[in-house]
């Protein structure tokens, strides 16, 4: 069983390695964070005029107003 002091030591070691680049594997860049909430304004910027679909991240939450806009204009959502 780990004691409180042992847990503190493990956390300190991990954080000190992160400063030297030890936390991330060499040669790999962290993946960009995808936006999870998309408002009506952002969705209209993603939409290309004349297209029948718009691509959004898989974990995206679309605002109710953007869902209404999609339905009114007959645009389909493609999650990638």
User: What is residue 80's predicted lDDT score, i.e. its pLDDT?
Assistant: 86
Mean pLDDT, consecutive 10-residue stretches, the chain (80 aa), reads 78 68 56 75 91 92 94 93
Helix (H) / strand (E) containing 26: none
Q: How far is CA 44 from CA 34, 48, 50, 62, 79, in A?
A: 17, 8, 12, 12, 16
Percent of residues in the chain assigned helix, strand, coil, to nearest 5: 40, 15, 45
The predicted model scores a pTM of: 0.53
**C-alpha triplet 73, 79, 80: angle, nearest 5°:** 140
What does the domain layout of the chain look like in residue ranges?
1-29, 31-80
Provide CB contacts within 8 A for 25, sequence distance 6+. Answer: none
């Amino acid at each position: 069983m780990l004691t409180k002091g042992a847990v503190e030591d493990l956390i300190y070691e991990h954080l000190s390695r992160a400063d030297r680049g030890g936390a991330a594997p060499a040669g790999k860049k962290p993946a960009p964070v995808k936006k999870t909430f998309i408002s009506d304004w952002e969705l209209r910027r993603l939409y290309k005029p004349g297209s029948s679909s718009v691509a959004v991240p898989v974990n995206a939450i679309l605002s109710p107003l953007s869902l209404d806009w999609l339905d009114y204009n007959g645009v389909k959502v493609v999650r990638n």
